[in-house]
Every structure is written in C-alpha cells, then in structure tokens.
Amino acid sequence: MEIFFLGVGETCDTAHGNSSSILTTSNGTRIMLDCGFTVPHQYFRTVEDPTRLDYIWISHFHGDHYLGLPLLFLRLWQLGRTKPLTIVGQKDIEEWVINLLEMAYPTFSRRIGFPFKFIAISPRATAHIAGMKWSTALTQHTQYNLGLLLQDGNKKLYYSGDGRANTRVRRLIQGCDFAIHESFNMVDTYPYHGSITSTLKLADEVDIGQVALVHLDHNLRKNEIQTIQRMVQDRPNTLLPVAGDRLNF
C-alpha cells in the first residue's frame, strides 16, 4: 500500500492543511481518507490524474473532515468525470453528503455528470469493499467518529479520524502495520482528543509497526517543533509527516 499525505494539520492550521491522505491499494484502488476545507485544492494541485479516485472515507461530520466534498465534486465534474464515486462512512452518510452539496451548490446534485454510491458501516462491523476488509470502531470524540482499519491482503492500516483510542479501538488495531493517528496535544489535555504522548504509548502497547502523528494543534507544532522532532528521531518507527510526503509499507 502507498500513502500520500495531502494535509496533516487540524482545522485552523494554515501551514499544513487539514489532515487527509490518499491510499493506493495493491490492486491500484485509490481511496481518499477524509476531505476537509483545504483538501480539494491540495488534491488537484498535487495528485497525478485526479479523476482516478475510487472511494472516499468520511470519519465524521466535523468541517475539517468533510466540508471539502462539494468543491471536490465540482472540480471532478469540470474535469469530465463520468465514473461513479463511492463514499463510505457512518450511518446517514448519504443524507449528510447530499444535504451539504445542496447547501453549497443548490440543484447541482441533480445535474452532476457522475453518480454517487453510498456505503454505511456500523461500529464493530466489517465490510468487504474493493477487495479489502473495512472494519470500524467508535472512538472517544465530541462527535460520532469511526476509526477505520483497512486490510489489504496481509497489510493493515488504521486511520483514526479524530478521537482518543479506547478499548474498542485497541482491540481493532492490535498488531496493525501502519497507523495515521490524530495527536492534538503533547499530553492528554482534552478528553476527546489524542496526544503525542498517548499515541506513542498506544503504538507500543498494541504493537503498531509504524505510526504517523497528524492533526497536531497548530500552536503546539509551531512552538514545540524541536521537542517533537527529537521525540520522533528517538523512535525510528514514528513519523511526523508533512503535506506531500509519500511512503510505501
């Protein structure tokens, strides 16, 4: 699998954009993991052949994770897309997305040049989509957020969306190969966000192969970057990615 980081920041991070990644699977399927405010411009600026997008995963309905969808759809339409686009997420995903599109561009959903397909996954359920297993767990967050484990053959990737890992998440991601995990603060300050410290501890306790720290508070990243970089350097399996980073695992 290949991961391309479109953005690694939280809502207000003007330097690093909203956290989002493009996952390319072993069979060439391309999946976008969340689509916040800043994501479409970065996607169309940096991704080769942007019309080759097969699936979008939406972890939850906070703006920095899904409010970029109307612009993404509009630009794909302008580029002449006709292939169906599948959007995967929690219950009511279709209602949330269509209402958002109608609010942003009234009547556009009735004349867009490609059809949508929606797939809803319940917590602790597993779906088989695009030759992969998609398994979810409800995280500890202020909004209903699903952490997603994708299994492509023997490789497993976990994407947290937002929220602190709980017992359900720990069971789900035990021994996974790679995790992209929100790490908002240095330590656990807020009960509904993870932190750098808790993410590193989680990686050790559930035996994660590699972990990428994303969704850092922009002030933390600005003011404590040297400390954070030293922490990462001391752990060879820990990454502090920036937009544009690409890796295979």
Residues 20/210/242/136 CA torsion (nearest 10 deg): 10
Query: pLDDT tens digit string along 178-221?
Result: 999 999 999 999 999 999 999 999 999 999 999 999 999 999 99
Percentage, residues of the chain above pLDDT 70: 100
Query: pLDDT tens digit string along 150-186?
Result: 999 999 999 999 999 999 999 999 999 999 999 999 9
Q: Are 134 and 33 in contact (CB under 8 A)?
A: no
pLDDT at residue number 32? 98
User: Residues 13, 34, 64, 217: which is the catalytic one?
Assistant: 64
Compute φ and ψ for 114, nearest 5 degrees.
Answer: -140, 145
pLDDT at residue number 176? 98
Compute φ and ψ for 85, nearest 5 degrees.
Answer: -120, 125
Query: Mean pLDDT, the chain, as a whole number?
Result: 97
Query: What is the rounded end-to-end Cα distance, in angstroms, of the chain?
Result: 6
Distance CA 38, CA 53 (A): 17
Nearest to 172, CA basis, from 158, 193, 182: 158
Thinking of the domain 2-248, which architecture would CATH place it in? 4-Layer Sandwich (3.60)
Q: What is the DSSP letter of 195?
A: B
* pLDDT tier at 104, thresholds 50, 70, 90: very high
**How far, in Å, are 98, 102, 208 from residue 105 at the CA level?**
10, 5, 42
* pLDDT tier at 45, thresholds 50, 70, 90: very high
Instruction: Please compute the mean of the pLDDT values over residues 94-117 and round it to a whole number.
Output: 96
Specify whether 92 is catalytic. Answer: no
Query: pLDDT tens digit string along 4-38?
Result: 999 999 999 999 999 999 999 999 999 999 999 99
* pLDDT tier at 84, thresholds 50, 70, 90: very high
Distance CA 161, CA 217 (A): 15
| Whether the predicted model's global pTM rises above the 0.85 cut | yes
Instruction: Please compute the mean of the pLDDT values over residues 48-55 and round it to a whole number.
Output: 96
DSSP string covering 106-167, please? TTGGGT-SS-EEEEE--TT-EEEETTEEEEEEE-BSSS--EEEEEEETTEEEEE--SSB--H
Q: What residue segments make up the domains of the chain, in order of their start? A: 2-248
**Strands 155-159, 146-152: pairing kind:** antiparallel
Look up residue 13 and give its two tokens. Answer: 């991070």
Distance CA 32, CA 21 (A): 6
pLDDT at residue number 124? 84
pLDDT at residue number 10? 98
